[in-house]
């Protein structure tokens, strides 16, 4: 199961890189054409906006898998094991509820806008809202897996706090974990 999730996230990482590259080409190309040749790529603004939305939602899926979202553990880190588990369960249930709300709203908007055409590309506006549906389904499955691991006691005590105070703190902690693994070998 872990290999399948890791593979899925690698595919998402590659897709995010492609979306970012396409955005750069569209926006930079449009700027050069506008200022250099007094013309432009008509679909650039609309398409780059859609690519950005998709890139953001796909990146959020990977962040959920890697527990990469920023948060604060000021209170939770000071609790005992039972308190940490209770907070984690509460957080996971609330995240699942928020994911359900996002799914329901995105699905409803996609259905409503299925026949609506975007002004420039003429593509269905449902594609725009599809990013929320893809995110909600993927995130919901990942969150259900984490909830299952919490309920069955398969999480290590170090995994009970699933937020990062900051990216720098996470990098320092990773360095210390890597050094500890080296010393134990």
Given this model, what pLDDT does residue 39 score?
79
Q: Which tens digits make up the pLDDT trace of 22-37?
A: 999 998 988 888 888 8
In a domain, 30, yes or no: yes
Q: Which residues of the chain have pLDDT under 50?
A: none
Task: Write the pLDDT tens digit of every residue in 50-59.
Answer: 999 999 999 9
C-alpha Rg value of the chain to the nearest Å: 21
- Within a domain: 185: no
pTM of the model: 0.78
How many domains is the chain built from?
1
> Quick one: which H or E segment has residue 147?
helix 126-151
Q: What pLDDT is stored for residue 14 in this prediction?
A: 94
8 Å CB contact between 75 and 95:
no
Q: Where are the alpha helices (DSSP H) in 67-125?
A: 81-112
pLDDT score, position 121: 84
Q: Print burial letters for 60-86: b (CB count within 10 Å at least 16), e (below 16).
A: bbbebbeeeeeeebeebeeeeeeebbe
pLDDT score at 183: 55
Q: Which domain holds residue 48?
A: 2-180
- Determine contact, residues 102/56, Cβ cutoff 8 Å: no
Q: What is the pLDDT of residues 149-176, one digit of tens each?
A: 888 887 776 666 666 555 566 566 667 6
């Amino acid at each position: 199961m872990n290999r399948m999730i890791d593979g899925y996230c690698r595919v998402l990482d590659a897709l995010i890189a492609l979306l970012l590259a396409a955005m750069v080409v569209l926006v930079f190309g449009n700027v050069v054409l506008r200022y250099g040749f007094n013309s432009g790529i008509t679909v650039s603004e609309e398409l780059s906006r859609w690519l950005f939305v998709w890139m953001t939602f796909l990146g959020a899926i990977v962040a959920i898998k890697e527990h990469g979202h920023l948060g604060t553990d000021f209170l939770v880190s000071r609790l005992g094991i039972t308190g940490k588990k209770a907070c984690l369960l509460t957080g996971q249930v609330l995240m699942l509820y928020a994911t359900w709300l996002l799914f329901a709203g995105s699905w409803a908007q996609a259905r409503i806008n299925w026949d609506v055409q975007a002004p420039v590309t003429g593509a269905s506006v449902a594609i725009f809202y599809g990013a929320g549906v893809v995110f909600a389904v993927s995130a919901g499955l990942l969150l259900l897996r984490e909830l299952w691991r919490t309920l069955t006691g398969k999480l290590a005590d170090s995994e009970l706090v699933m937020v990062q105070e900051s990216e720098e703190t996470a990098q320092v902690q990773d360095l210390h974990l890597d050094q500890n693994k080296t010393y134990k070998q």
